[in-house]
A and B are shown apart, each in its own frame.
Chain A
Amino acid sequence: MTAYSILSRDQNLIFYSMKNVTNRPGTTISEAEASRRSFLRVAGAAALTGGLLTACSNADESSVVPTGSARAAGDMVKLPTGDVGILAFAYVLEQLEAAFYEMVLAKPYPNMSTSDRMLWTDIRGHEIIHRELFKAALGGAVPVLTFDFSTIDFNNRADVLIHAEAFEKTGVGAYNGAGKYISDPGYLTLAGKIVSVEARHHSIIRELQYPFSDAFAGPTIVTSDTGLHLAYEPTFVLPIAQKYIKETLDASALVASLA
């Protein structure tokens, strides 16, 4: 079994889960298997490149988040290498999450409850804070991206929850998988300070989806036999993020630098 085939299967699992999670985790396809494989895929990343140059979907302009320095679709955004590249990777994900929650509150679904609005306001705040910290740290090495959320129905609470859950899950897995590539102990600790908050978000969103259950840490999220949360390689995460980003990410140099 080649590393690339594992990556593709994992991607399919994620895409499946982002679109079709309507039942209890114990009865969904086994994301736990995917997480085990990704945790064990320490060595495979260097061999994996490409997959990021996928075509942008046609944007519904009404769901394209306007940004301060909008770039045209198709622009290439090259991620730096090494520690700065991992920070840039995190910045991409935090931009994506923040933009998503900005949309949730800009286009609130009908009858959004007070408690829901409070939750989205909190999480939006956290992701904006993460985004602005990385923006400051990177000093313009990565531009403000333009997002396309036309595949998300912001008028539908269930669809918003599905995507929030998917973005948080991807974020947790991304930080957990990238930690080992960080050289600077201060950056590693900073990433640690953020990932646990993403895990808290994820846990609460799961609780909203499946109240009074074990879904917040069920077997699709945490391996039953070892009790480990998700960990995804950057090469697994970037194609997922790319689906929502109008610019084209070029992570080839970053991925090569992680060998």
Chain B
Amino acid sequence: MNLQNIFSEIEKVDGEIFDRLAHVSRRGLFSSLTKKTIAVAAPAIMASAMNKAYGQALPANVVDVLNFALALEYLEFEFYDLGNNLTMIPTRYKDAFEIIRRHEQVHVRLLRNVLGASAIPKPKFDFSAKGTFNDTFSNFQTFAAVAQTFEDTGVRAYKGQAANLQNAKPILQVALQIHAVEAAHAANVRYMRGQKGWVNGGTAALSGLPSILDGNYAGEENVTQGGVNLATALAGDNRITTAMITEAFDETLTKAQVLALVAPFFA
């Protein structure tokens, strides 16, 4: 498959998206749906909502963002699906990895439902990352390290796309909700690996990972937010450390950065 083609950067915004989605949203997109309907058919409802907004075709830039997300969810789901069938996962962590696996599974299903015929097919994966990790599914430490990397990077990937979905507000909210799930997963996997739940700087070593994964954490050392250098602004507060300032914000990655980072996992 041609990743560059599928994930080609189409950053232009279709000006009509805003009008179409805002229109549907204002009229009460979901107001006529009963709770019961929502409970049993949420993915189908999402797809239906998108169809109401766009007819049969999603705008190209939304399709690109969602297919980018779908590629990452395919990667995560297959990783956990393969790992969870093995005995290497300690019993006390099995429930955690099972619910993570299920979330990635329903994320795939949700995105595929929304994308319909535009959804990319599942790629083939290489969980050795071209030989970097030779015991991903036989050594729990490696499995958990890769899981942490996927989740922390997933947070950054979704976050980086938020501004690209601003004119597709129902989709933006769903993306934010998935983004928070990736963060919940990330914190739990970090914690089981003896790491803090939050990312405390811009190297892999600070997150208990080998330096070959530095790119996944590059930029997390940032202490300036919204134009305010917080290290300077809070220098007088002895409760605050520089590490805390880096922890307090998860940084974004662009689509191109994420694709470069995960490319070794695509066969």
A contacts, CB < 8 Å to B: 3, 33, 36-37, 39-44, 121-122, 124-126, 128-130, 132-133, 136-137, 172, 175-177, 179-180, 182-183, 185-186, 188-190, 192-197, 199-204, 207, 212-214, 216-218, 221-231, 259
Cβ of A122 and Cβ of B173 under 8 Å apart? no
Question: Chain A's nearest CB lies how many Å from the CB of B29?
Answer: 6
Contact A130 B107 (CB under 8 A): no
Residues of A within 8 A of B180 (CB): 172, 176, 195-196, 199, 229-230
Contact A43 B31 (CB under 8 A): yes
Which chain B residues in 190-233 approach chain A with CB under 8 Å?
Answer: 191, 196-198, 225-226, 228, 230, 233
The main secondary structure of chain A at its interface with chain B is helix
Quote the shortest CB–CB distance from A33 to chain B (angstroms). Answer: 7
5 contacts between A and B (CB under 8 A): A39-B174, A42-B170, A122-B196, A189-B163, A195-B180
| B99 x A217 contact (CB < 8 A) | yes
Q: A125-B241, A128-B239 are in contact. List 4 more A-B contacts (CB 8 A).
A: A42-B25, A136-B226, A200-B186, A216-B187
- Does B65 interact with chain A (Cβ within 8 Å)? no
Contact in complex: A195, B179 (CB < 8 Å): yes
CB proximity of A150 to chain B, nearest CB, Å: 24
Q: In the complex, which residue of chain B has the Cβ closest to the Cβ of A225?
A: B42
Cα–Cα, bound, A175→B234 (Å)? 24
Please determine whether A204 and B92 come into contact, CB atoms closer than 8 angstroms.
Answer: no
Inter-chain contact A217/B188, CB cutoff 8 Å: yes
Residues of B close to A137: CB separation below 8 A: 226, 228
B176 within 8 A of A: yes
B100 at the interface (CB under 8 A from A): yes
Q: What 10 pairs between A and B have smallest CB-CB spacing?
A: A229-B180, A125-B244, A185-B163, A199-B183, A203-B187, A214-B99, A228-B177, A200-B187, A196-B183, A227-B103
Shortest Cβ distance from residue A76 to the other chain B in the assembled complex, whole angstroms: 28
- B43 adjacent to A226 (CB under 8 Å): yes
- A203:B103 contact, CB within 8 angstroms: no
Number of interface residues of B (CB under 8 A): 75
Rounded to whole angstroms, the CA-CA distance of A190 and B98 in the bound complex is 31
Q: Which residues of B contact A42 (CB under 8 A)?
A: 25, 29-30, 169-170, 173
Which residues of B are found within 8 Å of A124, using beta-carbon distances?
239
| Interchain CB contact under 8 A, A197 and B248 | yes
B184–A222 CB distance below 8 A: yes
Q: Separation in Å of the A83 CB from the closest CB of chain B?
A: 12
State in angstroms the CA–CA spacing of A218 and B110 once bound together: 18
Which partner residue on chain A sits nearest B222 by CB separation?
Answer: A193
Query: Does B12 touch A at the CB level, under 8 Å?
Result: no
A99 CB, nearest partner CB in chain B, Å: 13
Query: What residues on B are CB-neighbors of A177 within 8 Å?
Result: 173
Known: A125-B240, A188-B162, A217-B103. A39 touches B95 (CB 8 A): no
Is A231 in contact with B173, judged by CB distance below 8 angstroms? yes
Bound Cα distance A188, B244 (Å): 22
A197 touches B247 (CB 8 A): yes
Whether the pair B176, A175 counts as a contact (CB closer than 8 A) is yes
Query: Do residues B176 and A231 form an inter-chain contact, with CB atoms below 8 A?
Result: yes
With contacts A36-B38, A40-B33 known, is A204 near B170, CB below 8 A? no
Smallest CB separation, B62 vs chain A (Å): 14
